[in-house]
């Protein structure tokens, strides 16, 4: 089996996304909602939660879940900030890594940047039919 690209998607990150994520996660760090605080920390303004970007990656995995794969492991690195109003591309490539196992390379990149904001990998495993 050869590597294959999972369907990518784009999302414009809004202030509402930040508010909803903060409420759901309990992460009320002011750099995610207060411009002056963010600037005091050397940021250009309010930034999106890194974990919000990571959580949105799950939308990429729907085709794998439909095929019976289960997420076994995920790791990411946060490399660049994402600001409200930015449109972000979520993409992934899956590569067979053994019987019933896929290694998936992950990328989250703002359309305004030439480098990924988030990169990483996930391991998916599909149990044999008798163990489902």
Q: What is the distance between the alpha carbons of residues 62 and 122, in angstroms, rounded to a whole number?
A: 14
Q: What is the pLDDT of residues 114-124, one digit of tens each?
A: 999 999 999 99
> What strands lie across the sheet with 4-12, from one edge to the other?
4-12, 87-96, 101-110, 118-125, 70-78
Model confidence band, residue 128 (pLDDT cutoffs 50, 70, 90): confident
Can you count the helices (H) and strands (E) in the chain? 4, 5
d(CA 121, CA 103): 7
Instruction: Provide, rounded to the nearest whole percent, the portion of the chain with pLDDT above 70.
Output: 97
Residues 91-105 have pLDDT tens digits of: 999 999 988 999 999
CATH, range 4-13+49-131 = 3.10.129.10
- Across the range 9-34, mean pLDDT stands at 97
Q: Is the pLDDT of residue 19 over 80?
A: yes
Mean pLDDT for 6-17 is 97
- Name which of 44, 71, 59, 45 is nearest 126 in CA terms: 71
Residues in the chain: 132
Nearest CA among 124, 87, 83 for reference residue 106: 124
All residues at 6 or more sequence positions from 15 whose CB lies less than 8 Å from its CB, including other chains: 46, 84
> What pLDDT sits at residue 1?
67
Domain ranges of the chain: 4-13+49-131
Nearest to 94 by CA among 123, 127, 58, 128: 123
**pLDDT 10s digits, 50-83:** 999 999 999 999 999 999 999 999 999 999 999 9
Confidence (pLDDT) at 127: 93
């Amino acid at each position: 089996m050869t590597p294959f690209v999972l369907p990518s998607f784009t999302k414009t990150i809004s202030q509402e996304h930040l508010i909803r994520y903060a409420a759901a996660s309990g992460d009320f760090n002011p750099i995610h909602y207060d411009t002056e605080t963010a600037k005091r920390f050397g940021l250009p303004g309010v930034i999106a939660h890194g974990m919000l970007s990571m959580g949105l990656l799950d939308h990429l995995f729907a085709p794998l879940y439909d095929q019976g794969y289960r997420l076994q492991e995920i790791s990411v690195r946060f490399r660049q900030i994402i600001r409200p109003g930015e449109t972000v591309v979520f993409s992934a490539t899956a590569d067979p890594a053994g019987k019933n196992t896929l290694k998936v390379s992950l990328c989250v990149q703002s359309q305004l940047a030439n480098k990924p904001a988030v990169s990483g990998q996930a391991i998916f495993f599909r149990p044999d039919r008798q163990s489902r």
